[in-house]
A and B are shown apart, each in its own frame.
Chain A
Amino acid sequence: DGGITQSPKYLFRKEGQNVTLSCEQNLNHDAMYWYRQDPGQGLRLIYYSQIVNDFQKGDIAEGYSVSREKKESFPLTVTSAQKNPTAFYLCASSISRGSNEQFFGPGTRLTVL
């Protein structure tokens, strides 16, 4: 089955630690995205990538970093510089940046202890 997988489903982090969230897709999509979801708010774009070895900051990139070394993988690192990292993180992909539909993974819930 084609789709997007995210791991882990739940992640706990101590303050001051960096953590990396995994996102893998086997849809052969060029574009991939990371969003943050907070209660009562819509999704906010952290980073996106249109093609391998290229990525762009979204609206709330501070305290986050990404890499796109392979087409199917787009990991997100939440660094200690992110002041309020507790949230639900969603990865998505689309055929291309201009595509009308994004496909979402099941999400990772990050909690900072």
Chain B
Amino acid sequence: GDSVTQMEGPVTLSEEAFLTINCTYTATGYPSLFWYVQYPGEGLQLLLKATKADDKGSNKGFEATYRKETTSFHLEKGSVQVSDSAVYFCALTDSNYQLIWGAGTKLIIKP
């Protein structure tokens, strides 16, 4: 079945560092891809999405590009802030419109 694999955390960075969180997927067909963020003690919020190959999703300085050839959707940010500390989930929608989730990557930003 479809699946999503994320890099294991926690990822610890200093403020203003460059961020990459890797996400790869296996899927039949052409899924939509998502990054959700979960701040401590809260529910999830959609961060960005891409619905077809080569699309770039972006929001709040975060970006991710749908790469069909490498089945990847890596999350990047040029300069992280302490407020970016959260858990980040990569996900895809399968052919039944069900969201398939990665395990999540905890990001810790130190001042």
Contacts and interface: CB of A to CB of B under 8 A. Distances in A.
| Majority DSSP secondary structure for residues of A touching B | loop
B43 A107 contact: yes
A42 B92 CA distance: 12
Contacts of B41: 106-107
Interface stretch (A61-69, A74-82, A94-102): A94-102
B51 interface: yes
Contacts of B103: 40-42
B46 interface: yes
Size bracket of the B interface: 20 to 34
A43 B89 contact: yes
B101 A42 contact: yes
Interface in B63-111: 89, 91, 93, 97-99, 101-104
Contacts of A100: 32, 34, 49, 51, 93
Size bracket of the A interface: 20 to 34
Interface of A: 4, 6, 40-45, 58, 90, 92, 97-107
24 contacts: A4-B43, A40-B103, A40-B104, A41-B103, A41-B104, A42-B89, A42-B101, A42-B103, A43-B101, A44-B101, A58-B98, A90-B43, A90-B44, A92-B43, A98-B97, A100-B32, A100-B34, A100-B49, A100-B51, A102-B46, A104-B44, A104-B45, A106-B42, A106-B43
